[in-house]
Amino acid sequence: MGVFYGRIEKLDTGFMAEYFPLYVEAAKLTFRLGMTGILFSLVIGVVCSLAGYYHVPVLRQIAVVYVELSRNTPLLVQLFFLYFGLPKIGVMLSSEGCAVIGLSFLGGSYMAEALRSGLEAVEKGQMESALAIGLNRFQVMRYVIFPQALATSVPPLCANVIFLIKETSVFSVVALADLMYVAKDLIGLYYQTDEALLMLVISYLVLLLPISVAAGLIERRLRYAGFGD
Amino acid sequence: MEGQEKLLEIHHLHKDYGNGAVLKDVSLDIHKGEVLVLIGPSGCGKSTFLRCMNGLEQIQSGEIRLDGEVITDPKTKWSEVRQKIGMVFQSYELFPHMTVINNILLGPLKVQKKEKKEAEKEAEQLLERVGLLDKKDAYPRQLSGGQKQRVAIVRALIMKPEILLFDEVTAALDPEMVREVLDVMLELAKEGSTMVIVTHEMQFARAVADRIVFLDGGEVVEMAAPEQFFTQPETERAKRFLDTLSFE
């Protein structure tokens, strides 16, 4: 403990103040790319889970292969493939393009699985009773099946959001000045390891804690207030 | 029943799940205002038969007509037909994420595009009739089985269907709640609603039916007025079935 206190005293606050704006910029970038990726992940997740739910031929098989491919390869490898591999066959993507595509490719499968479990948890009779009052298939999904599936899927979906934002820490490999990149850069340049890492941890916490708290609130609302429990 | 308007006509219905026929050449006419009760041993195809009537099951051959129009055509717009053929299920199947009133209003608002105020008034009147107006803002989970089933009946009724299908609607209920649901159905019958009821409640069947249809092995084995069916069944199979239900 003594050592720890000693080091805190020796923290170079001047250095931290000076490079604070870099972290703010990086956090903004991380947040922006993270959120964009998450949005696309949700879209991919909805499409894949519905393809499975409705047994859509071809699309369903594609979804299965995609989910396995995406969940069983690390984001780092996916990014390498996009950034260094694709140019070899003539496809050039910007760093941000790679980051968003990579994150969406990874997140889509996680979102799909979270939604699939929710959809499967909805009683089969719900579909029939909704059809029986004359709703068309789209309305059945929109008003009856999906809201129930979503309620079940909220905890895993929220966990995925947090997971995906954390995964953005590998974006630096495609030359993006995200939080991780800034910290590594500062360490490399000035050897101020403690300060750089401390600010990195704080930055992620500042980004993720509010999301985590919000997710907890949504879950509690769904669990306790929803459906008359 | 002669001379009365035919509401639902079923001709040579054949249904197969791929491992043997479930319904074999079933033909039946249901007249306006008639209460038809389908009985028969488990697995005889009576629920399947009912579900074919509103397209929840696909049929392999045969034809069903509603008001003279064929509804077993591939081009059938089921969402329109189903507004005319209401259905109540054994396991209620209320929508758990909606309050009672919203369960009832979903059809009128989204399918029939009715005005909310008007639909709400109708829903409240119907809830009043089944004695559940005070539960209109409750969630299904807060209701007893009998209450849920009465809400499910209201949800079907509010569409003003021409015919109502009841699929073993008391089978999942505790015995003391069966009566409250059957009473609602008896009242509907008295008002002249056209109903097709699948049930195991023989006394109720006898009280409510205009005609009993006895199904066994996917075939209509016997069709008769309730008094005649229960006292003098014509076929051996019907006799055997009724014997298994009595303790004499």
Contact between B110 and A130 using a beta-carbon 8 Å cutoff:
no
> Which residues of A fall within a CB distance of 8 Å from B140?
227-228
On whether residue A164 sits in a domain, the answer given is: yes
Is B65 part of the contact surface with chain A (CB cutoff 8 Å)? no
Quote the pLDDT of residue A119: 96
pLDDT band for position A13 (cuts 50, 70, 90): confident
Quote the pLDDT of residue A7: 55
Low-confidence ranges of chain B (pLDDT < 70): 1-3, 248
CA distance, residue A149 to nearest chain B CA (Å): 10
Q: How many CA atoms lie within 13 A of B192 on its CB side?
A: 1
Contact between B156 and A148 using a beta-carbon 8 Å cutoff:
no
Q: Are A96 and A172 in contact (CB under 8 A)?
A: no
From the list B111, B152, B156, which residue is nearest A135 (CB)?
B111
Contact between A131 and B56 using a beta-carbon 8 Å cutoff:
yes
> Which residues of A fall within a CB distance of 8 Å from B119?
none
From the list A130, A148, A229, which residue is nearest B141 (CB)?
A229
Quote the pLDDT of residue B20: 81
Residue of B nearest to A125 (CA): B93
The whole-angstrom separation of Cα B162 and Cα B159 is: 9
How do strand B85-88 and strand B69-70 relate by DSSP bridges? unpaired
On whether residue A62 sits in a domain, the answer given is: yes
Quote the pLDDT of residue A6: 54
Q: What is the mean pLDDT of residues A59-87?
A: 94
Tokens of B214: 């006895």
CA distance, residue B95 to nearest chain A CA (Å): 7
Q: So what's the ipTM on this one?
A: 0.92
Chain A with chain B: Cβ pairs closer than 8 A = 78
pLDDT band for position A2 (cuts 50, 70, 90): very low
pLDDT band for position A222 (cuts 50, 70, 90): confident
Count of structural domains within chain A: 1
Quote the pLDDT of residue B3: 54
Quote the pLDDT of residue B34: 95
Q: What is the mean pLDDT of residues A98-121?
A: 96
CA distance, residue A137 to nearest chain B CA (Å): 9
φ/ψ of A93, rounded to 5, equals -120, 145
On whether residue A3 sits in a domain, the answer given is: no
CA distance, residue B157 to nearest chain A CA (Å): 10
Q: Which of B2, B3, B7, B67 is nearest to B192 (CA)?
A: B7
Whether A1 shows a pLDDT value over 80: the answer reads no
CATH of the domain at A120: 1.10.3720.10
Mutate one of A124, A133, A143, A146 to test the B interface: name it (highest B CB count within 10 A). Answer: A133
pLDDT digit string (tens) for A117-138?
999 999 999 999 999 999 999 9
CA distance, residue A109 to nearest chain B CA (Å): 27
Mutate one of B93, B100, B102 to test the A interface: name it (highest A CB count within 10 A). Answer: B93
Residue of A nearest to B164 (CA): A132
On whether residue A91 sits in a domain, the answer given is: yes
Contact between A135 and B155 using a beta-carbon 8 Å cutoff:
no
Quote the pLDDT of residue B74: 85
Q: Are B111 and A134 in contact (CB under 8 A)?
A: yes
Specify the long-range contacts of residues A219-227, CB closer than 8 Å, at least 24 apart: A219/A154, A219/A155, A219/A158, A222/A151, A222/A154, A226/A151, A226/B97, A227/A151, A227/B96, A227/B97, A227/B139, A227/B140, A227/B141
Quote the pLDDT of residue A224: 54
Q: What is the mean pLDDT of chain A?
A: 90
Quote the pLDDT of residue A99: 95
Contact between B95 and A151 using a beta-carbon 8 Å cutoff:
no
Whether A210 shows a pLDDT value over 80: the answer reads yes
Quote the pLDDT of residue A218: 86
pLDDT digit string (tens) for A137-195?
999 999 999 999 998 899 999 999 999 999 999 998 888 889 999 999 999 999 989 99
> Which residues of A fall within a CB distance of 8 Å from B141?
227-229
For residue A62, the enclosing domain spans 10-228
Quote the pLDDT of residue A3: 52
Q: Does domain B6-245 have CATH number 3.40.50.300?
A: yes
